[in-house]
Copies of this chain bind each other. A is one copy, B any other.
Amino acid sequence: MSRVVKLAVIPGDGIGPEVIAEAVKVLDAVTAGGETVFEKTPFSLGAARYLETGDTLTDDDLDAIRAHDAILLGAVGGQPGDPRLKDANIERGLLLKLRFELDHYVNLRPSKLFAGAPGPLAEPGEVDFVVVREGTEGPYVGNGGSIRRGTPHEVANETSVNTAYGVERVVRYAFELAERRDNRLTLVHKTNVLVNAGGLWKRVVDEVAQEHPGVAVDYLHVDAATIFLVTNPSRFDVIVTDNLFGDILTDLAGAVTGGIGLAASGNINPTGAFPSMFEPVHGSAPDIAGQQKADPTAAILSVALLLDHLGLRDEAARVQQAVEADIAERGAARSTAQIGDAIIARLRA
C-alpha cells in the first residue's frame, strides 16, 4: 500500500524556480518506485505574482496550502529597489506570514562544514551544529509602529514579544534534538541588556535542563556567539535562540560552512497541526536569476530535511550522502541543472 504525501511547491522569485526544479528532480529520483508518492501542487506566489495581481498571500492561498502535508519553498522577493514593490513587503506578507500562520515554531538550520566545501576560515576544525531558531515570536511579531512619520519628531518602536508557552516548546525541541546528537546545548541571547526577554529564555532553559541531566548546557551572549562561530565553531552542537538572533547567527554559520548556497532549513510545526515548510536559507538573488548560476544544493538539502521530517530517513540519508559526495569532488563551475543532475547520478549509482 502506498502512502500519499501532498506537497505544496512554492518556487517563488529570482533563482527560486531554478533551484526548486533541481530539488524536485532529486525528490522524484530518490522516491521513485518507493512506497511514498508525492502529489505536488505548484503555487505561484511571490513578487511576480504580486506585480500581476496585487496579492501576496490571500486567505484562499493559505487554506489551499494548509490542505497539504508539507511545503517546499524556493525563495521570495523581487528586485531590490523596484518602485512597484515599494509598498509590498513580500518577506513579511508571504514568507513570515506562512511561518506565523502555520505556527512554524521551530526554524531548524543545520550547519555542517562538508569535506571539500570552501569556507572562509583558515582553521575551521570540525563544524557540525544545528541552530534551533524560534520562529513565531520575538522581534519578528510585527508589533511595532511609528508616530509623526517623516517629521523630525518621528518615533518608531518595535516590540519583541516572548511568551513562556512559545519559548518552552522550542527549548524542549532543542533539548530533545541535543539528546539525539552530541548532548550539548547553547542558549544564545542578550540577557544583560534584554533583561525581560532574556530572563524568560534563561529561566526556561534552566528549568527544562532539569529534565535532561545528560545535556551539557551553556549560555552565550549573541555578540560573543558570533566570535566563537568564527574562532571555534566546533564548540557548538545545538544552539537555541530567538527569532532575530537565529536569523543573524544562521547567515553567519552559513558563511562559515561554505556559503549560504549550501544552507538548508526547515520551518517546522512539530505537532503536525500544520504543514512544515522546507527552504534554502538564501534569498531570491534576482541579480543572477534565470542564468543557471545558482547553486541548488541548499534547496536539495532542504529536500533531505523534508524527507527526514516525513520519516523517510533512508531517503533523507541518501540525498545527504549524494550531496556530500558531490561537494567533495567539485571542480569547474557547473550550471544549476548540472549540479542537480550530478547529485541525481550519485543517487542512482
Contact = CB atoms under 8 A, between A and B. Distances in A.
A200 B158 CA distance: 12
28 contacts: A92-B192, A92-B193, A92-B195, A120-B121, A120-B230, A121-B122, A139-B194, A145-B196, A146-B196, A149-B199, A152-B165, A153-B163, A153-B165, A154-B164, A156-B162, A156-B163, A157-B197, A158-B160, A159-B160, A222-B248, A223-B250, A226-B255, A227-B252, A227-B254, A229-B252, A230-B252, A230-B256, A231-B255
B192 A158 contact: no
A223 B247 contact: yes
A162 B146 CA distance: 9
A279 to B, nearest CB: 15
Contact of A194 (B158, B199, B255): B158
Interface of A: 89, 91-92, 96, 119-123, 139-140, 142, 144-146, 148-165, 168, 190, 192-197, 199-200, 203, 222-224, 226-227, 229-231, 244, 247-248, 250-252, 254-256, 259-260
A196 B89 CA distance: 12
Contact of A155 (B162, B226, B256): B162
Nearest to A200: B156
A222 B195 CA distance: 22
Nearest to A159: B159
A161 B158 CA distance: 7
A226 to B, nearest CB: 4
A225 B7 CA distance: 34
Contacts of A256: 230
Contacts of A251: 223-224, 226-227
Contacts of A244: 190, 193
Contacts of A229: 252
A219 to B, nearest CB: 8
A213 to B, nearest CB: 18
A41 B159 CA distance: 41
Contact of A89 (B120, B163, B192, B247): B192
Given A154-B200, A230-B256, 16 more contacts: A91-B193, A120-B122, A121-B230, A122-B122, A139-B158, A144-B194, A145-B196, A154-B164, A156-B197, A157-B162, A158-B194, A159-B159, A222-B248, A229-B252, A230-B255, A248-B248
B192 A168 contact: no
Nearest to A232: B120
A168 B156 contact: no
A144 B140 CA distance: 16
